[in-house]
Structures are given as C-alpha cells and as structure tokens.
Chain A
Amino acid sequence: MTETTEFEPKIIAFLCNWCTYTGADLAGTSRLQYPPNVRIIRLMCSGAVDPMYVLKADLAGADGILIGGCHPGDCHYQEGNYKARRRVIALKEILKSAGFDEDRVWLRWISASEGARFAETVREMTEAMRAKGPNPMKAMWAV
C-alpha cells in the first residue's frame, strides 16, 4: 500500500436553507456522486452570510469557500440573494486589494431541484482549487 500525498482541497460551503442546501440534499438522496471535499454549513439565507464567516475560513486556510443561494428572483426572503451578490462583489474587491486570491470564493445560484448542478459545482470547484494548490494561509501563523 502506498501512502498518497496528493493535495486534497478543503472547501467550506455556506448554503441557504431553502435552495442550495435542499439541492445538496437532493444530490444525496438521488445518490449522485461528488467529491467529499466540501464541508457544508447551513444558513437560512445567502443574505445571512456575513463576509466575516468567509474571511474566517479563508484566513484559517480553507482552500475554497462556496456560497450557495437561490436563483435571482427566487429568494425565500425576496431579496437576500441580491444583497448577498453585492456583498460578495465587495468582499472579492477587498480580498483583491489585500493581495489575497479572490477566486477561492465562489457564489453560485443552485435551486432545490438542481441536485445535479450542486454535484457538478462541487466537482468543478474541487478541481479548480486542486489546480490552484493549497491556500497559502495554511502556513501563515501570523494572521
């Protein structure tokens, strides 16, 4: 048996209760296969994702951070996802200004019926983060 040293990215996902989390659930109940690299945190709305949560994950060394919400127009609370979109745009601008890799943060609209899209998104993101390599924050103790 050979020991594998291949880098496995770790992705933290903040998913809204009504769409993307339910979509992830559907992926599971449909027995769709997707990489086990994602750790899911359920929130009531993508609009409830304070940028601080994303920053905490990034600074702690998460290789990717996925924010999942309802498609525009479908928010359970009418407008939470539109506000999430603005926050993510601001957050990425701030990450870029700070010299961080803003492409480690993804925002995706995935509905409750899109189990396949959820599985595909996790696959896509896992491979993209694998290609990037480990988040340099993993080695930065002075943050």
Chain B
Amino acid sequence: MKISLPVENHQPLVALQGFLKSLLDNQIVDVILTPMRTPGGAVTPALVSDPALLEHADPLAPVLSVNAATWAGKVSLRKPHPRLAAVLRSCEARALVELTKMAQASLEDLLVVAIDCAGTYTPATYLNKQANSNAPLWVDLYASIRQQSEFTNADLRPACQICEQPVYENAPIRILLLESDLEQAIWIEIQDELGERLGWQGSAANGHSPAIEAYIASRKQARDQAFTEIRARLEGDEGITGVFAACIRCHNCMTVCPICYCKTCVFKSHVFDHDPMKYLEWARQKGAQRMPPDTMLFHLTRQNHMALSCVGCGMCTDACPSELPVGLVFRAVAERLQQTFEYLPGRNVEEPLPLVTFKADEWTEVGE
C-alpha cells in the first residue's frame, strides 16, 4: 500500500524519525541500522536499539561514508540474528542483494527500508558544505529534482553523478523522497501486512513521477558520456595501464567494496610474498619492473571476480588516495559484462550469480 506520512512544522526529518521509531515501538524489528548524526555533525551508520536515540537518525543527510550493505550483512548473516531494519540507499540495497547471493547476508528477518536518493557527498565535502549552509543540504537537492530545476551537481560523489538507479523498488518499505513534497508529507510504499501492523490505511501504489523519469534520464546521459570518455582512454594510447599508472596497490578500493568480501583474498595472501630473486627475474625479463608490482593484475583480477556484481556505489573511487577513476572503469567494464550475461546486480535475489551457474546449450561455438 501507499501511505502518506504527515510532516509537521515543515520538518520531514522528524516525521521520518517517528516512522522509524514506530518500527521499534511496534516490535516489528529489534534494531535499526540507519545513518545517525554524531555530535560533531558527521553522519555515520549506526545500529539503534533505543527509540529515543532515533532523534539523531538522519537518513536524509546526503552523505555516504560506507556502503552499509556490508554491515547489514554482518548483523543478519548467522543465526541467531536480530530482526533488523536497514535504512539503505539504492546502491546499498542492491549490494545487499548481491551479498545475499554470496551467502554474506541474509534477508530473512531483514527489513530493507529503501530511501530514494538525490545523490550524496563524500564525508569531507558534506561536512564542509554543511558548515557553510544554513539549511540542511538535502533541502536543495530534493527540491531541485522535484522541481526539475537542476539535475547536475559537480560536488556530488562521482558515482552519484552518473547513477541511473536512485530508486530501489523491491524493498518491503520504500520512502518516496523524490516524489514527495517534503514540506507537506512523505509518501511511503509499504507491504500491506506491515502497513496494517503499523496501523496504516493506504491506497494502491502507482508509478514514477515525471520528475524521477527526467532525473534518471539526465543521470543516464551523464553516465553514457562518462563511459565514452573513459573507454576512449582505456582503448586509446594511454590504455588501462596508463589510467592506473599512479596506483599504489593500497587495496583501499577492495577494502571498501561491499562486494569484495573474501576474508582470504589472494592479494593479501602469501602468494604475493615473492623471493628477492623473483623481483630480479622480473626486472630482467622486461628490463625494469614497476614497484609495487602486480597493480594491473590486481585490478583486472578484481574485475573478473566481482564486476558482474558491481552496483556502482563508487566507494572505491572515494577511497583511492591517488584519485583514480576506479569506480568508473569498473562500471564501464561491468556494463558490458552485465549485458553479455543479461544480468543486473541487485535486481532479483533469486537470480543466480552468472559465474556460478551455466546452461549447457549456450556459447556452443566456444571451445570447438
């Protein structure tokens, strides 16, 4: 059902906090994973059990410090686990679906509360901008999309500037922030049974508003342009080795990636503890050997291992100390891979991961 959450005194955040509180008060869940504002102003995900503390919940703050799917996974995976509600943006919700397929999260007893996303800043940009703004930063972001006045914002995280999936529709609860006049009321799509338990009476849900369609179209255009530019670099003289030339192989991109979950990642293993003479061998083979070695192997292997599940959250780009366009390269590659296997990460939890399944009668010309 679709319900209208009343907003009083032009304070949608308070209304949202109240809605989240109702999930705890009605014992729908034991605990809520939601972005919370710290006393210093920074916003970070936190697991909240005390309804009173939800006055610090701030799902509207346009900032993404981590992809919280990782943490929703850790709280849901092994039994016994709490009944959890996780307030997630689209990229986080889609990552959670992929993690579930990889047996790193469980959707059993996990209630995804998906919030429509107007784009996010890095934590540093967010703090800086918020310090210089009288109104909360989300006010302008949501209003400009709703009024279709401005869709581009060069201060947003690069991944958000090309994100064509700001809305996640498969959640039991979806907060329709992009369709609501946040000053008046917030539309929420909620599973009928859940809505009834919370005491709501709603109407049947309907489709996207024109504003969202225009917003998505604008993002798609930006995405395609970014793909064209990075592909020209990858396929041109610079090549992928040029694009990643400044990589220091710190593994930050891997560490923050919600999809890269392996605890025994080969790149952290003794496989890469080489004997001194091995380095000499390499230096002699090519006349010189870049240090650290194996940077290209690292990125291309990671593409092989996880690009099919890449949801484009862009945490990797934010984490790169050399400011390399890691996420954009991944997305550009992932788009083609995902097309080849007709796979969209996060679309459906029932859909098997492409590399763990097969059909006997596909690509039959290969290998002959």
Contact = CB atoms under 8 A, between A and B. Distances in A.
B128 interface: no
Given A85-B358, A138-B286, A56 B367 contact: no
Interface in B264-301: 266, 282, 285-290, 295-297, 300-301
Contacts, number: 112
Nearest to A107: B367
A63 to B, nearest CB: 14
Nearest to B332: A97
The bracket for how many chain A residues form the interface is: 35 or more
Prevailing SS type, chain A contact patch: helix
A129 to B, nearest CB: 18
For the complex, would chain B's binding face be called helix, strand, loop or mixed by DSSP majority? helix
B364 interface: yes
Contact residues on B (Cβ < 8 Å of other chain), bracket: 35 or more
Interface string A57-71: 001110000000101
A55 B239 contact: no
A143 B290 contact: yes
B235 interface: yes
B304 A52 contact: yes
Interface stretch (A1-9, A27-35, A37-45, A88-96): A88-96
B332 A94 contact: no
B56 to A, nearest CB: 43
Interface centre among A91, A93, A96, A108 (most CB of B within 10 A): A93
B358 A82 contact: yes
A55 B358 contact: no
B105 interface: no
Interface string B300-319: 11011101100000000000
Contacts of B297: 52, 55-56, 59, 143
Interface stretch (B134-142, B182-190, B196-204, B333-341): B333-341
A139 interface: yes
B366 A107 contact: yes
B239 A99 contact: yes
Contact of A55 (B304, B332, B337, B340): B304
Given A97-B234, A97-B336, A107-B366, A86 B354 contact: yes
Given A69-B367, A91-B304, A143 B354 contact: no
Given A93-B340, A97-B336, A143-B295, 9 more contacts: A52-B266, A59-B296, A60-B282, A60-B285, A88-B366, A93-B336, A99-B240, A107-B367, A143-B296
Interface of A: 50-52, 55-56, 59-61, 69, 71-73, 79, 81-83, 85-91, 93-100, 107-109, 138-143
5 contacts: A55-B296, A88-B366, A140-B286, A143-B290, A143-B296
* Interface pairs A-B: 3 shortest CB-CB: A82-B358, A141-B288, A51-B304
